[in-house]
Amino acid sequence: MRVSVLGPLTLGLGARSGVPSAMKPRKVLSLLLLHAGRMVPVQSLMAELWGDHPPRTGLTTLQTYILHLRKLLAEVLGMPSAAVTRDVLQTRPGGYAMVVGPGQLDVHQYRALVAEGEGALEAGDERTADTSFRRALALWQGPALVDVTPHGRPLQAEVARLEQSRLTVTERGIETRLRLGGHLEVLSDLASLVVEHRFHEGMHGQYMLALHRSGQRTRALTVYQRLRTAMTEELGLEPSAKLQRLQQAVLVSDPRLDHEAGAPGRGPVVA
C-alpha cells in the first residue's frame, strides 16, 4: 500500500485507490493518516468536519464515513472487512486509529530522513546530511494535503506543522550545501525562495552569502536593501542585528565569508 500526504492525498495499491471522492470522508482519512498508529479522538474528527457546531446526527454520520472508508480499504487491499477493522482502520476507546506498515506513509519516511540529516550534521558529516535533506524534500509533491480543502482546525494545525518543517529543512539543506561550497548550486533556489518568503531573514542571508561567494557582491547588497525597504515600509521594523552584520561583512569583503569550500564543520560568518 502506498500512502502520501505530502502533496495530494493518495492511498492505494497498484492502480486501485482508497481515497473517497466525497470531501468529508477525505478529511477523516487525512486526519487519521497524519496520526497514523495513534488514536484520533471522535471529538477531533467531528471538529474537523463541523467545527464547533456538529449536527445532532454528527456521531452517526462519522460512523458512516468510517464504514465507507473500511469498505474502500477492503476493496483496495483485497481483505475481508473484518480484517480491515481489526488490522487497518481500528476502533479504539474514544476514537479511531489508522495502522500503516513501515515505509508505507511518506510523512514517516520524511521525518526519518530529516532525523538522519540532523544526526549527520551533529556528527560533522555534511555530505550525508545533504543527501538526507535532499531525499526528504524530494518526497514533497506540493503543499501538504493540497486537494483536501477547506481544512478544519485540526487539519490546519497539522498541515501548518508540516509546512513549517518543510521550510526549516529547506533552510537547513541550503546551509549544508553552502558549507560544502555549493554556493552556485543554491542560487536559483534562493532567488525563488526569497520571493516566496519575503520577510524570511535566514533565507535572505543565505542568498546574500551565496551571491557574495559567486562574485556578485553588488547583487548581495541589493538583496539586503530590498528586504530592509520592505520591512521598514510594511512592518515598521529593521532587519535583525545578525543580518545587518552580514551586510557590513559583504560591504568590506570580510575574508571570513569565503571559507574554503568543503571545510568540515564551518558555517556562514553571520553570527
The strand pair at 40-41 and 16-17 is best described as: unpaired
Rounded to a whole number of angstroms, the CA Rg of the chain reads: 23
The answer for residues whose C-beta is within 8 angstroms of residue 99's C-beta and 6 or more apart is: 36, 37, 87, 88, 89, 90
Q: Please name the helix (run of DSSP H) or strand (run of DSSP E) that holds residue 26, with its range, or none.
A: helix 23-34
How many Å apart are CA 170 and CA 162, to the nearest integer? 12
Q: Please name the helix (run of DSSP H) or strand (run of DSSP E) that holds residue 4, with its range, or none.
A: strand 2-4
pLDDT at position 258 is 84
Residue limits of CATH 1.25.40.10 in the chain:
182-257
How many Å apart are CA 24 and CA 269, to the nearest integer? 50
Contact 112, 13 (CB under 8 A): no
pLDDT at position 152 is 95
pLDDT at position 53 is 93
* Runs of H (alpha helix) within 41-197: 42-50, 58-77, 81-87, 106-122, 126-138, 153-179, 183-196
Residue limits of CATH 1.10.10.10 in the chain:
1-96
Q: Is the pTM of this model over 0.75?
A: yes
Topology of the domain covering 1-96: Arc Repressor Mutant, subunit A (1.10.10)
Topology of the domain covering 182-257: 1.25.40
How many Å apart are CA 56 and CA 69, to the nearest integer? 22
DSSP string, 160-203: HHHHHHHHHHHHHHHHHHHHTT-HHHHHHHHHHHHHHSTT-HHH
Q: What region, left, alpha or beta, does residue 5 occupy, with left being phi > 0 and alpha being psi -120 to 50 degrees?
A: alpha
pLDDT at position 147 is 96
How many Å apart are CA 209 and CA 257, to the nearest integer? 7
Tens place of pLDDT per residue across the chain (271 aa)? 889 999 999 999 888 899 999 999 999 999 999 999 999 999 999 999 999 999 999 999 999 999 999 999 999 999 999 999 999 999 999 999 999 999 899 999 999 999 999 999 999 999 999 999 999 999 999 999 999 999 999 999 999 999 999 999 999 999 999 999 999 999 999 999 999 999 999 999 999 999 999 999 999 999 999 999 999 999 999 999 999 999 999 999 999 998 643 332 334 334 3
The partner residues of 91 in beta bridges, in order of sequence, read 96
